[in-house]
Amino acid sequence: MEEPGQKLKRVRERLNLRYRDVEEASIRIAERHQSDEFVLGLSRLADIENKGTVPTLYRLYSLCAIYRLDPQDVMAWYGADLSKLPGDAAEIEIERTHEIRFNANGYGQVSMPLALDPGIDLRRTSYLSRMIQRWGKLPLMLLNSLEVEEHRYGYIGTEDYFMSPILQPGSLVLIDETRRKIANTGWATEYDRPIYFFEHRDGYACAWAFQTDNQIVLQPHPASQSNPIFYKHEEDIEVVGQVTGVAMRLDRAKRRRVRSASG
């Protein structure tokens, strides 16, 4: 596999740029940003290309600007593939409920079923894995038609049982930021009642809610044995949006028991 420094060297040579040209260009970038961190000296550039020296964040920026390269691609050359960031984050459990700030930037690929058994009956519960005839990689930018720009994602903390069992700790929730008005009525069952994602001064929360003129009440699921939480409207808490989707593991309670026994 070609070293990242050699890849950068090939790009420079294709552009017919000398070391001096790159240095002078980086000086102009440094002047624009008023920081010498962006400067690529002759010896430093030679070390990056020939000795495997990893450029700093600022010098990487200069190289990408001068060579017209996508920073995502260059970072992947060095083994820091940003398309894997959400997957790596999913391996790290955080106790507190929080917002996920990864953007749907169209980079990377996702594995998706490209062909299903034509005999599948979508009205019946099925073992979908056995119905998939062919998997493939699709660029994420092809999913732009799903209009994910108005959605964000939240993670229910591993110690947050406020909405359990409807939302288990460790669940990933889809948040529609266009739905920020709390509905006090209009549902028949607890499964129809809107769930909202909130940001407050101490972090985030996910809950049913009831709003009056001067406060918002976060209402837990009765089975959680948690108490309602009261906030002054617009002063202490903000509605991020309504939860419109959820992905969660159904064996988390079993996993916790196993982990506790082994720990």
> For the CA atoms of 9, 13, 18, 22, what is the dihedral angle to 10 degrees?
-60
DSSP H or E run through 230: strand 229-232
Which residue, of 80, 97, 127, is where some domain finishes?
Answer: 80
Average pLDDT score over the chain: 82
138 belongs to a structural domain: no
142 belongs to a structural domain: no
122 belongs to a structural domain: no
Q: Check pLDDT > 90 for residue 132.
A: no
Q: Check pLDDT > 90 for residue 221.
A: yes
Q: Which residue has the tokens 């990933």?
A: 172
Mean pLDDT across 5-25: 96
Task: Please report, for residues 56, 80, 239, the alpha-carbon distance to residue 9 in angstroms, rounded to integers and kept in the order given.
Answer: 17, 19, 50
Mean pLDDT across 35-40: 97
88 belongs to a structural domain: no
Mean pLDDT across 95-121: 66
226 belongs to a structural domain: yes
- 232-239 contacts, C-beta under 8 A, 24 or more apart: 236/200, 236/201, 237/198, 237/199, 237/200, 237/201, 237/205, 238/198, 238/199, 238/200, 239/180, 239/181, 239/182, 239/196, 239/197, 239/198, 239/209
Tell me the CATH number at 224: 2.10.109.10
236 belongs to a structural domain: yes
What is the residue range of 25's domain? 4-80
Q: With pLDDT > 70 as the criterion, what percentage of the chain qualifies?
A: 76
Number of separate domains in the chain: 2
Regarding whether 248 and 152 lie in a shared domain, the answer is: yes
Cα–Cα distance, 236 to 96 (Å, whole number): 18
pLDDT classification of 258: cutoffs 50, 70, 90: very low
53 belongs to a structural domain: yes
Regarding whether 152 and 76 lie in a shared domain, the answer is: no
Which residue, of 20, 53, 80, is where some domain finishes?
Answer: 80
Looking at residue 243, its amino acid is: V
90 belongs to a structural domain: no
Q: Check pLDDT > 80 for residue 149.
A: no
3-state secondary structure 185-225: CCCCCCCCCCCEEEEECCEEEEEEEEECCCEEEEECCHHHC
Tell me the CATH number at 16: 1.10.260.40
pLDDT classification of 129: cutoffs 50, 70, 90: low
> Measuring CA to CA, which residue among 207, 220, 147 is closest to residue 177?
147
Which residue, of 58, 80, 102, is where some domain finishes?
Answer: 80
Cα–Cα distance, 51 to 125 (Å, whole number): 57
pLDDT classification of 136: cutoffs 50, 70, 90: low
Mean pLDDT across 70-92: 88
